[in-house]
Chains A and B, each alone.
Chain A
Amino acid sequence: MLDRLGRSAPYAVLLGAAAYFYALAERFEFSAPGGRLGPDAWPKIVLGLLATVCLYEIGRSFLGRAGSEVSGLLQSFLEKAADDAESGGAAPRSFRRLLAGIGITVLYVALVDVLGFLLATALYLAAFMRVGRYRRYAVIAAASLAGAAALLFVFMRIVYVSLPPGVGPFGALSYAVLSLMGVK
């Protein structure tokens, strides 16, 4: 029973979300000429279909037999490919590593405006490589510093993307490096 509940849980969550968004669609503010469909029509159709599929899956979780899933055309090929790959063994997953990766990514997005692209990127690249289990620190240092500078040069000098310089001393550092690169 617990297994069936677990299988149906993601669909139940999606069903709840569909119902919530449907209720939101009911409250869209607009004035459509008589007889015309409003901006709520399309989202409601999509939400209705989403809810139907979720209900089907929930029903299948409780009433269907195991393995009664309908698969796309590629599935049989993918199963064959997976069988072939099995000799290599499945890689162990590390949720902690994933969280660390997502964490530094969010931190980068939050800080890039303050630290500037150059510094934030160099730090991020180094941190990401380390989180990704790379241990050759000399390579990490060289790749992150040279990589950040190269990205800055390519995007600001060649592609003309205006990347954030940072504020205060970080901005001064960015401008100094940029002037060394010949970027005004």
Chain B
Amino acid sequence: MLETLTHLAGGFADVLQPVNLLVLAIGLVLGLLVAVLPGLTLVMGVVLALPFTYRMELTPAIILLTAMYVSGTYGGAFTSILFRIPGEPIDVPLLWDGYAMARAGAPAKALGWTLFGALGGGLVAALVLVLLSEPVARLALTFSAPEFLAIILFGLTSVVSLGGGSVTNALISLFIGLLIATVGTDETYGAERFAFGVRMLSDGIEYLLVMVGAYGLGEVFTRLEQGFRTQTAGAGKGAPIRTELPRLKELLATKATFIRSSLIGILVGIIPGAGATIASFVSYGAEGQYGRRRKELGSGIPEGILAPQTAATASVGGALIPLLTMGIPGSGATAIILAAFLLKGVQPGPQVFVSSGDTVYAIFASLFVAVLGMCLLGYFAIKLLVRVLAFPEAVVSAFVVMFCFVGAFAARNNLTDLYVITAFGVIGYLFERFRFPIAPMVLGSILGPLAENAFMTTMISHDNDWTVLFTRPVAGVVMALAIVALAYPALRRWRTR
């Protein structure tokens, strides 16, 4: 414990270096802006920031992306509460109680509750991240291929069952993602798979291109077809914009909601495949099931604001645990952070505390500083931040496309990658149009190589005996969870019929 605190103190010393602090501040502002703008999602924002990290050292690069990630879970609350414009899907639950509270004449109070939720949830999750990461990494060191395969399969089934829309469409999306990851030359046998003699395909399809194309361009194409009609006119004008913090007595009255939402956020964050959006919705749902004032939910009560916001920000700390300790990204944003690690030649995983311990503790410390900084910015600069809503969406989107292109191009200096992301942009649009979720495809393309590798190693080590996935204790438990996750939507439907 003392050792952990010593390392953490070193991390704080690193983060408080002027360059790192500057990068962190930039990341926070960008994250808040991205979250405020309806045309940009958190994941898109982190993707667009990636090329700026190419020339940075590892520590500031990860600090920048992590700061964007954490503040991206908070900024959208402003516009949801004040103008009924959710900047992110994460912020949709804030429409129900946050906007209702604002409409009842207490917008400053509603903003105060989100600030408290983000601050509290973020700090608790950062603390859990510090306390859990090293033990989890030590545990992960004892894992073999079957355990890793089971964890990855659990992540993949979670993203299918927790998402919105048809489960079968989500499965199809996932399988397409897994197949995308198989394109190119196989590492074990050197066999060319689905490359059709095209050199570009022989090198494989980088998951970064899938992400940038499907999330970035796909979203822009969808909005373009709708004529960029987000209702932002008049936003930022009229009522005074300020934040009023809740009183101690009010805070104490909501402690159960806070604890429950923090735990939900961290747990959902830890599950590979689930992210801030799912944490926010699940936490709101749990408040509706178990909250003291569940019958008043939706009428503008603090618990309805606190629950989604706390969980959304807490999920960031949770999502960093599997990324840092096992090298498994649990969400789109952590996948980008993984890409930044890999671009610097560092593979997150059980050994990362040995190989890059300083960086890991700097990331931990940066999360504490980022949460505090984000809330300070939110408190003092909210008026300025919401002004970006006045930017025309067509102009912002044109620049988003450019950032997508430059980001994709800069990774390998290869112009043909631009064709690939354009193709994935069209695929992303088609997925959206025909109600196939994009997240499973993207996660499949990210986790596909890890899953295949773990699968092949398992089969080779255990004479092609797949039952080993169920007979080893840890793998068996995780596989059971994966099966429950997959079967849950069907069971839920059967019960409600």
Contact = CB atoms under 8 A, between A and B. Distances in A.
Given A42-B182, A53-B168, A97 B489 contact: no
B292 to A, nearest CB: 21
Contact of B227 (A54, A88, A94): A94
Interface stretch (B48-56, B107-115, B121-129): B48-56
A71 B464 contact: no
A51 B52 CA distance: 41
A157 B285 CA distance: 49
Interface in A16-54: 21, 24-25, 28-32, 35-43, 46-47, 49-50, 53-54
B54 A132 contact: no
Interface stretch (B252-260, B338-346, B363-371, B453-461): B453-461
A172 interface: no
Contact of B162 (A73, A128, A160): A73
Contacts of A173: none
Contact of B398 (A32, A77, A125): A125
A164 interface: yes
B226 A93 contact: yes
Contacts of A105: 217, 401, 422, 425
Interface stretch (B135-143, B183-191, B203-211): B183-191
A53 B175 contact: yes
B225 A94 contact: yes
Contact of B186 (A24, A39, A88): A39
B179 A98 contact: no
Contacts of B166: 69-72
B191 A29 contact: yes
Given A121-B402, A132-B227, A161-B54, A53 B171 contact: yes
A54 B225 contact: no
Contact of B225 (A36, A73, A93, A125): A93
Interface in B380-399: 392-395, 397-399
Contacts of A25: 193
B398 to A, nearest CB: 4
Contacts of B175: 46-47, 49-50, 53
A40 B229 CA distance: 46
A47 B409 contact: no
A98 B167 contact: no
A42 B455 contact: yes
Interface string A119-130: 001001100110
B355 interface: no
A151 B402 CA distance: 9
A86 interface: no
B283 to A, nearest CB: 11
A132 B229 CA distance: 10
Interface residues of A, number: 80
A98 B429 contact: yes
B137 to A, nearest CB: 27
A131 interface: yes
Contacts of B231: 88
Contacts of B451: 42
A138 interface: no
B21 interface: no
B489 A70 contact: yes
Nearest to A121: B402
Most chain A CB within a 10 A radius of its CB, from B93, B224, B393: B224
B191 A74 contact: no
Contacts of A36: 459-460, 464
Contact of B278 (A70, A74, A112, A131): A74
Contacts of A144: 398
Contacts of A71: 164-167, 489, 493
Given A28-B191, A46-B182, A132-B393, A164 B399 contact: no
A84 interface: yes
Nearest to B490: A70
A12 B192 CA distance: 27
Interface in B206-240: 217, 220-221, 224-229, 231
B193 A39 contact: yes
Contact of B193 (A28, A109, A113): A28
Nearest to B411: A161
Most chain B CB within a 10 A radius of its CB, from A11, A73, A155, A159: A73
B418 A109 contact: yes
B409 A161 contact: yes
A73 B399 CA distance: 34
Contacts of B186: 28, 30, 39
A128 B398 contact: yes
Nearest to A161: B410
Contacts of B55: 159-160
A128 B401 contact: yes
B446 interface: no
Contact of A50 (B92, B172, B217, B220): B172
Contact of B281 (A74, A124, A132): A74
Given A46-B175, A56-B168, A70-B493, A101 B281 contact: no
Contacts of B489: 70-73
26 contacts: A28-B192, A39-B186, A43-B182, A70-B493, A71-B166, A72-B161, A72-B162, A72-B166, A73-B488, A77-B92, A77-B93, A77-B281, A77-B285, A84-B95, A91-B229, A92-B226, A93-B226, A106-B422, A109-B422, A125-B402, A128-B397, A128-B398, A131-B224, A132-B398, A134-B228, A161-B51
The 9 closest A-B pairs by CB, nearest first: A132-B394, A39-B186, A74-B164, A30-B191, A134-B394, A98-B225, A91-B226, A50-B175, A128-B398
Interface of A: 10-11, 14, 21, 24-25, 28-32, 35-43, 46-47, 49-50, 53-54, 56-57, 69-75, 77-78, 80-81, 84, 88, 91-95, 97-98, 101-102, 105-106, 108-109, 112-113, 121, 124-125, 128-129, 131-134, 136, 139-140, 143-144, 147, 151, 155, 158-164
Given A29-B191, A151-B406, 15 more contacts: A21-B179, A28-B191, A29-B192, A37-B464, A41-B459, A42-B456, A70-B490, A73-B161, A73-B163, A74-B163, A74-B277, A84-B96, A113-B415, A143-B398, A151-B402
